[in-house]
Amino acid sequence: MRGTIRDYSGVDGQPPVYGEETFESRSRLPRSAFMRIYEAIRDRLFWPQSINATGRPQVYALEKLVAASRVLAYGETSDRAGEYFQMSKSTIEVSTKKLIEVIVEEWEPVYLRHPNDEEVKRMLERNAARGMPGCIGSLDCSHWEWAACPQGLAEQYQNCKKRRSIVMETVCDEDLYIWHIFIGAPGSLNDLNVLRISPAYFDAVEGVWPPKSFSFCVNGRSRRLLYYLTDGAYSKYPFFVSPYSNPILPACRKRCARMSSGFSGF
């Protein structure tokens, strides 16, 4: 057990065996972010070292965290991580579950949230300067390959390129601030299938988000329904706007003229 702490944090004033580059490669996050998580969990119930019924000391909080982070980073099973950390499968499974709960509880309100009024105002000003008044971000889906996909789920998660993947639906602004992410849909789905089960879609149709407290002007008419910038695969909803790949074509010019007369997309 002492070896794990020596490898990742160092003991007796000695530096850790694995330097910053190796640590980040193995844990899939910088050491500074890892230590923030450690400070958040170290004193919570379950994480501190305890004594079992036989009087033997159990694993440290740091060891539980390292084992759980390896499971999440590599998608490996709990018993495989136990070979290195010398921890039981059940302990690693519980550690992984509780780590996810802590991350969601501690950082979801900070990082995965709707923009506040000041942030929305800044987005609108930037996009209006580009000729896109009312745009609050770009929405799209991407496939993340799942190398450790279980064989039993292979067909469900196989995408159009015959690879196993999960679909991520995200919304971000020009600063790459991702304020919406919907992840976990099977790779066999596409943008439209995912949209039907997306929280962003339900928020829009139920009037929860985008906010109605902002307005923008198009062709002399004031609008209040803010929209996402999407590609042409998405349906023609009022809260989606798709740009034209080649707006100088005659067909595009005619359609632009029709939309300009009443801005019918809204």
Q: What does the pLDDT average to over 131-153? A: 85
pLDDT at 113: 82
Establish how many alpha carbons lie within 13 A of residue 65's alpha carbon, considering only the half-sphere containing its beta carbon: 25
Q: Contact, 123 vs 115, CB < 8 A?
A: yes
Reference 66, options 92, 104, 48; nearest CA is 92
Report which of residues 102 and 59 the model is more confident about.
102
- Label residue 83 by pLDDT band (50, 70, 90): low
Report which of residues 245 and 175 the model is more confident about.
175
Per cent of the chain over pLDDT 90 is: 2
pLDDT at 84: 66
Q: What does the pLDDT average to over 112-138? A: 86
Q: Give the integer Cα–Cα distance in Å for 75 and 62.
A: 19
Flag whether pLDDT at 265 surpasses 50. no
pLDDT at 230: 85
pLDDT at 262: 41
Reference 63, options 13, 105, 3; nearest CA is 3
Quote the pTM value.
Answer: 0.63
pLDDT at 98: 92
Flag whether pLDDT at 114 surpasses 70. yes
Flag whether pLDDT at 246 surpasses 80. no
Paired sense of beta strands 221-223 and 227-229, if any: unpaired
Q: Of the ranges 48-52, 88-92, 186-190, which one carries the lowest mean pLDDT score?
A: 48-52
The residues pairing with 165 across neighbouring beta strands, listed in sequence order, are 145
